[in-house]
A = this chain, B = another copy of it.
């Protein structure tokens, strides 16, 4: 593939995802209705392709080193409504309809605590 210019990447119509040195980009899942950030994880090329093919969020687990269909065991899939791309195409925003709690702890969102001073307090959205 020929080198992509900064202008093409930032202003062009072509989707040219930019994976980092580890082959990953950041994917942020947001509830389409509430706009709440549900979770953030990484995608490699395979996870991105699977997500686009199936309409269900797939990520790349860095700890397990493999493809991860979100909801595979819990049934709490994230159904994709829209994918947005950032300026330099190294991060994407997934607007989703969650099929249940997005967090493995059972919380609706993984971001269920706020930093107050030096300690964390639960928040409810």
A residues contacting B by CB (< 8 A) are 10-15, 20, 26, 28, 30, 35-37, 39-40, 62, 82-88, 91-93, 103-105, 107, 110-115, 118-121, 123
- A87 and B114 in contact (CB under 8 A), knowing A15-B119, A37-B30, A121-B13? no
Interchain CA distance A6-B84 in the complex, whole Å: 32
A119 in contact with B14 given A37-B28, A114-B82 (CB within 8 Å): yes
Is A111 within 8 A of B85, CB to CB?
yes
CB-based nearest B residue for A86: B110
Collect the chain B residues with CB atoms within 8 Å of residue A20's CB.
62
Decide if A13 touches B83 in the complex (CB within 8 Å): no
* Interchain CA distance A67-B91 in the complex, whole Å: 20
A87 neighbours in B (Cβ, 8 Å): 103-105, 107, 110, 112
Give the docked Cα–Cα distance between A83 and B37 (Å): 13
A88–B104 CA distance with the chains assembled, in angstroms: 10
Assuming the contacts A13-B121, A15-B120, A120-B14, asked whether A85 and B28 have C-beta atoms less than 8 A apart, the reply is no
Q: Identify which of B28, B82, B93, B120 contacts A12 (C-beta below 8 A).
A: B120
